[in-house]
Structure 1
Amino acid sequence: MKEQGKMAGSFEILKAGTNSFRFRLTAEDGTVVAVSPQFPSLKAVVAGINAVRENAATGFVVDRRNLGT
């Protein structure tokens, strides 16, 4: 249960050049958790955020440390 007054993590939309955008996911303490690649439009970056929201909750953790060894 979330403590009162604490904010959940957030997605921040940022300009990335003249006509592109990216987002970063930050934890409630401000730690940057993930940074996206560039998207060509605001609509595309919002779609990227929605894809992360939908997939993160159900995504598997895949350990690839031993690949290629």
Structure 2
Amino acid sequence: MAGTFELFADEDSRIRFRLVAPDGTVLAVSGQYRDKDQAAAAIKDVRECAGTGLIRDLAPAPGPAKARASRRPHQVRPFMPNKEKSLGAA
């Protein structure tokens, strides 16, 4: 499924666009444009080259491997204001 380009006005009242994945994740945000026509032209350019664009790695080479502390995902528990409605052990 394709993403969506959204046009919006930023805090400087300049036009920008963002590319949003179907799940709502913002994948990219553009620079500022004077008007919607310029932003639309930039979206057209992105559509033309994004599918065939190569990756250029400008990031620094990784240093020595560091041991990372394992992180457990946070456990989400429902809020239960009445103790007698709780399903867990006391």
Question: What TM-score bracket applies, with the shorter chain setting the length?
Answer: 0.7 to 0.9
1:58 aligns with 52
2:32 aligns with 38
**Aligned residue pairs, count:** 60
Q: Which runs of 4+ in 1 moved over 2 A?
A: none
- Give unpaired runs (5+ residues) of structure 2: 62-90
TM-score normalised by L of structure 1: 0.76
Partners of 2:35 and 2:28 in 1: CA distance: 19
Pair 1:8 & 2:2 matched: yes
Code of the residue aligned with 1:48 in structure 2: it is A
Query: SS where residue 59 of structure 2 aligns?
Result: coil
Q: Which one scores higher on RCO, CA 8 angstroms, separation ≥ 6? A: 1
1:21 aligns with 15
Following TM superposition, by how much is the alpha carbon of 1:22 offset from its aligned partner in structure 2, in angstroms? 0.4
* More strand, by proportion: 1
Q: How much is the aligned-residue C-alpha RMSD, in angstroms?
A: 1.5
- In our comparison, the structure showing a higher alpha carbon Rg is 2
